[in-house]
Protein backbone atom coordinates (compact mmCIF):
# COMPACT_ATOMS: atom_id res chain seq x y z
CA UNK A 1 0.00 0.00 0.00
CA UNK A 2 2.82 2.39 0.84
CA UNK A 3 4.50 1.67 -2.49
CA UNK A 4 1.20 2.53 -4.18
CA UNK A 5 1.17 5.95 -2.48
CA UNK A 6 -1.38 5.20 0.24
CA UNK A 7 -0.85 7.28 3.37
CA UNK A 8 0.06 4.96 6.25
CA UNK A 9 -0.11 5.49 10.01
CA UNK A 10 0.45 3.41 13.10
CA UNK A 11 -0.91 3.88 16.58
CA UNK A 12 -1.97 2.27 19.83
CA UNK A 13 -4.93 3.11 21.99
CA UNK A 14 -4.07 1.44 25.26
CA UNK A 15 -4.06 -1.91 26.96
CA UNK A 16 -7.60 -2.78 25.85
CA UNK A 17 -6.28 -3.60 22.37
CA UNK A 18 -2.50 -3.53 22.80
CA UNK A 19 -1.14 -5.14 25.94
CA UNK A 20 1.58 -2.59 26.58
CA UNK A 21 0.30 0.51 24.80
CA UNK A 22 3.77 0.92 23.26
CA UNK A 23 4.07 2.58 19.88
CA UNK A 24 7.70 1.44 19.60
CA UNK A 25 6.71 -2.20 20.23
CA UNK A 26 3.93 -1.86 17.65
CA UNK A 27 6.32 -0.33 15.11
CA UNK A 28 8.79 -3.18 15.69
CA UNK A 29 6.06 -5.80 15.15
CA UNK A 30 4.77 -4.09 12.00
CA UNK A 31 8.31 -3.86 10.62
CA UNK A 32 9.05 -7.51 11.36
CA UNK A 33 5.74 -8.64 9.84
CA UNK A 34 6.53 -6.69 6.65
CA UNK A 35 9.89 -8.41 6.47
CA UNK A 36 8.42 -11.88 7.08
CA UNK A 37 5.79 -11.36 4.39
CA UNK A 38 7.89 -9.54 1.80
CA UNK A 39 11.56 -10.22 2.56
CA UNK A 40 14.26 -8.62 4.70
CA UNK A 41 14.53 -5.56 2.43
CA UNK A 42 10.76 -4.93 2.30
CA UNK A 43 10.86 -1.96 4.65
CA UNK A 44 13.58 0.03 6.36
CA UNK A 45 13.53 1.03 10.02
CA UNK A 46 13.37 4.67 8.94
CA UNK A 47 10.29 4.02 6.81
CA UNK A 48 8.58 2.42 9.81
CA UNK A 49 9.58 5.28 12.11
CA UNK A 50 8.11 7.71 9.59
CA UNK A 51 4.84 5.74 9.49
CA UNK A 52 4.71 5.78 13.30
CA UNK A 53 5.35 9.54 13.56
CA UNK A 54 4.76 11.70 10.51
CA UNK A 55 2.40 9.10 9.02
CA UNK A 56 -0.21 9.66 11.70
CA UNK A 57 -0.19 13.40 11.15
CA UNK A 58 -0.51 12.95 7.39
CA UNK A 59 -3.40 10.48 7.66
CA UNK A 60 -5.21 12.87 10.02
CA UNK A 61 -4.53 15.86 7.76
CA UNK A 62 -2.59 17.61 10.54
CA UNK A 63 0.31 19.60 9.05
CA UNK A 64 0.80 21.18 12.50
CA UNK A 65 2.32 17.99 13.94
CA UNK A 66 4.24 14.83 13.08
CA UNK A 67 7.75 16.27 12.81
CA UNK A 68 10.00 18.43 14.94
CA UNK A 69 9.92 21.86 13.31
CA UNK A 70 9.53 25.41 14.63
CA UNK A 71 5.89 26.34 15.11
CA UNK A 72 4.60 22.76 15.18
CA UNK A 73 3.02 21.04 18.18
CA UNK A 74 5.26 18.39 19.64
CA UNK A 75 5.40 15.51 22.04
CA UNK A 76 8.95 14.21 22.33
CA UNK A 77 9.97 10.75 23.53
CA UNK A 78 13.64 10.00 24.19
CA UNK A 79 15.07 6.50 24.54
CA UNK A 80 18.61 5.68 25.61
CA UNK A 81 20.00 3.27 23.01
CA UNK A 82 23.49 3.15 24.47
CA UNK A 83 22.79 0.22 26.79
CA UNK A 84 23.52 -3.47 26.54
CA UNK A 85 20.28 -4.35 24.73
CA UNK A 86 21.35 -2.23 21.74
CA UNK A 87 25.07 -3.07 21.85
CA UNK A 88 26.45 -3.67 18.40
CA UNK A 89 23.72 -1.79 16.57
CA UNK A 90 25.46 0.81 14.45
CA UNK A 91 22.26 2.67 13.61
CA UNK A 92 20.36 4.29 16.52
CA UNK A 93 17.00 4.02 14.72
CA UNK A 94 17.57 0.31 14.09
CA UNK A 95 18.67 -0.07 17.70
CA UNK A 96 15.44 1.55 18.89
CA UNK A 97 13.05 -0.44 16.69
CA UNK A 98 14.82 -3.79 16.64
CA UNK A 99 16.63 -4.15 19.94
CA UNK A 100 16.22 -1.01 21.96
CA UNK A 101 14.98 -0.48 25.49
CA UNK A 102 11.24 -0.95 25.98
CA UNK A 103 10.84 2.04 28.30
CA UNK A 104 11.15 5.68 27.39
CA UNK A 105 13.80 7.61 29.30
CA UNK A 106 12.25 11.07 28.97
CA UNK A 107 8.83 12.09 27.65
CA UNK A 108 7.58 15.61 27.05
CA UNK A 109 3.97 16.31 26.08
CA UNK A 110 3.29 19.81 24.75
CA UNK A 111 6.58 20.85 26.38
CA UNK A 112 5.66 19.47 29.81
CA UNK A 113 7.80 16.70 31.34
CA UNK A 114 5.75 13.55 31.94
CA UNK A 115 8.62 11.06 32.34
CA UNK A 116 12.13 11.81 33.57
CA UNK A 117 14.82 9.16 33.88
CA UNK A 118 12.18 6.49 33.21
CA UNK A 119 9.85 7.61 36.01
CA UNK A 120 6.44 9.24 35.66
CA UNK A 121 6.59 12.67 37.27
CA UNK A 122 3.02 13.87 36.76
CA UNK A 123 1.40 11.77 39.49
CA UNK A 124 2.19 9.38 42.34
CA UNK A 125 2.58 6.06 40.52
CA UNK A 126 3.21 3.85 43.59
CA UNK A 127 0.02 5.21 45.18
CA UNK A 128 -1.95 4.61 41.97
CA UNK A 129 -0.66 1.02 41.75
CA UNK A 130 -1.57 0.41 45.38
CA UNK A 131 -5.10 1.71 44.79
CA UNK A 132 -5.47 -0.39 41.63
CA UNK A 133 -4.31 -3.54 43.44
CA UNK A 134 -6.79 -2.83 46.22
CA UNK A 135 -9.62 -2.47 43.69
CA UNK A 136 -8.58 -5.64 41.87
CA UNK A 137 -8.56 -7.62 45.13
CA UNK A 138 -12.04 -6.29 45.98
CA UNK A 139 -13.32 -7.26 42.56
CA UNK A 140 -11.82 -10.75 42.86
CA UNK A 141 -13.41 -11.23 46.28
pLDDT at 66 over 90: no
Question: Phi then psi for 61, rounded to 5 degrees?
Answer: 70, 40
What are the pLDDT digits (tens) for 113-136?
Answer: 999 999 999 989 899 999 999 999
DSSP, res 118: T
Q: What is the 3-state secondary structure (H, E, C) of 4-25?
A: CCCCCCCCCCCCCCCCCCCHHH
For residue 22, what pLDDT is reported? 81
What are the pLDDT digits (tens) for 26-54?
Answer: 899 999 999 999 998 989 999 999 999 89
Amino acid sequence: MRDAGVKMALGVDGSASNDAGSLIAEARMALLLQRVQNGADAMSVREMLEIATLGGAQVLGRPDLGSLEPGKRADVAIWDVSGLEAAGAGDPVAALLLSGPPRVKHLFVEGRAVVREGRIVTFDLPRAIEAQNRLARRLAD
